[in-house]
């Protein structure tokens, strides 16, 4: 189930901005999965790390903030998750860290609504993945 979180080759700051912009208003891209979008995660991370971070009041600031909120939101633990990410199944998972740090830095104060655990059936995992998930 893991696609890896490495930055895709060829993703530059300007293409990262386009990726983030493509997710504006809750829109999805061709890489979006039901729970997350690794391309959006990579783009938000690259934008934050390679900056410059957009200044308050600009379109870019709005874009990156909404994108970061979406990344954080898709990894936010639900009520029954005991602090673990519903996508990565670990506490304090890697993908949303930069996005969260960015939101904290601009004092966004964004806290996503609690989410339900993902329904395993929707993902139709293979028998092998199922063993991994359940540990049985």
**What does the binding site for Zn ion look like in residue numbers (CB under 5 A)?**
29, 31-32, 37, 40, 75, 85, 87-88, 93
- Rg of the chain over all Cα atoms, to the nearest angstrom: 15
Q: How far is the CB of 59 from Zn ion (least distance, A)?
A: 19
Q: In the structure encoding, which two tokens stand for residue 82, read together?
A: 């005991």
Q: How far is the CB of 30 from Zn ion (least distance, A)?
A: 7
Q: How far is the CB of 87 from Zn ion (least distance, A)?
A: 4
Q: What are phi and psi of 91, to 5 degrees?
A: -80, 140
Closer residue to Zn ion, CB minimum distance, 40 or 55? 40
CA 49 to CA 131: how far, in whole Å?
36
Closer residue to Zn ion, CB minimum distance, 84 or 108? 84
């Amino acid at each position: 189930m893991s696609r890896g979180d490495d930055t895709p080759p060829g993703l530059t700051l300007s293409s990262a901005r386009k990726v983030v912009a493509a997710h504006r208003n809750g829109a999805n891209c061709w890489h979006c999965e039901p729970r997350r979008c690794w391309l959006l995660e990579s783009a938000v991370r690259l934008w934050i790390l390679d900056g410059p971070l957009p200044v308050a009041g600009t379109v870019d600031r709005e874009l990156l903030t909404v994108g970061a909120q979406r990344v954080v939101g898709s990894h936010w633990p639900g009520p029954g998750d005991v602090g673990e990410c519903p996508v990565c199944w670990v506490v304090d998972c890697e993908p949303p860290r930069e996005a969260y740090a960015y939101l904290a830095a601009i004092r966004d104060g964004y806290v996503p609504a609690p989410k339900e655990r993902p329904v395993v059936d929707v993902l139709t995992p293979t028998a092998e993945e199922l063993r991994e998930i359940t540990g049985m």
